[in-house]
Amino acid sequence: MESIPRPLLQPDNMTDGELVAWQRKQLEDLWRIFNITGEFAKGYQQLSKLGPCITIFGSARSQPGVHEYELGVRAARACVERGYGVITGGGPGIMEAANKGATEAGGVSVGLNILLPHEQGANEFVDRDKLVSFEFFFVRKTMLVKYAQGFIALPGGFGTLDELFEALTLIQTGKSTRFPVVLVGTKFWGSLVDWIRTALLGGGYIGEADLDLFHVTDDPEEAVAIIDDFYREHALAPNF
């Protein structure tokens, strides 16, 4: 049987079977690049015409009736009352609460859903013409930041912390236009803020000014007011 020609930059000791498997892997990686590019293009196309919006995120495990869920509903209503739409991850828990609050207040309710195995789809309160589903977390996070004029973070787990620190890092490093970030729930966030002050600032890992990149409150209406005040103080229209 004739051997398959080996492309450049290939180990010389591959068998024909190993080479076929390697080439298949390269093709899979190439298609992954195309898929990633397609997800970015889809997100930009569907979200580029949004007006001013605030991203609200928090735990997917919070159930209706619990305090954090109701905070999400109130925060979204306050956003709509001040002229903002609401962006969430589109799933259950606090994401559902925020989409519910926005819908009940007659505002824009956007859901950027992530496709996960054994997980339910987008919640029922997302405007169906403003629902975008993603396979890749990092593409979704880009959209959560790019089209938001502010972040409101409610209690949550690893995903919430990931999104929060991604936003703060982008602002700190100047990779994103500065936007306000508000943490709602002093009891939940208090120990984290203390750790940031003692371990990060105290250890010289961040600067004093980095503590001004976020605010903490127990009042979701105040959280939205903080975002409004930010744009008045900086003389910016909330649609950068």
Overall average pLDDT of the 7-25 stretch: 68
Report whether pLDDT(149) > 90: yes
Q: Where does 50-233 sit in CATH, by number?
A: 3.40.50.450
Residue 54 and residue 71: Cα distance in Å, rounded?
A: 15
- Whole-model pTM: value is 0.85
Residue 12 has a pLDDT of: 62
More confident residue, 83 or 8: 83
Question: pLDDT category, 118, cuts 50, 70, 90?
Answer: low
Residue 81 and residue 227: Cα distance in Å, rounded?
A: 13
Residue 32 has a pLDDT of: 85
Contacts of residue 28, Cβ cutoff 8 Å, sequence gap at least 6: none
Contacts of residue 73, Cβ cutoff 8 Å, sequence gap at least 6: 97, 98, 100, 101, 104
Question: pLDDT category, 106, cuts 50, 70, 90?
Answer: very high
Residue 11 has a pLDDT of: 57
Residue 213 has a pLDDT of: 97
Residue 200 has a pLDDT of: 98
DSSP-derived letter for residue 90 is: S
Residue 21 has a pLDDT of: 76
Residue 217 has a pLDDT of: 98
Overall average pLDDT of the 70-87 stretch: 97
Q: What are the sequence ranges of the domains in the chain? A: 13-49, 50-233
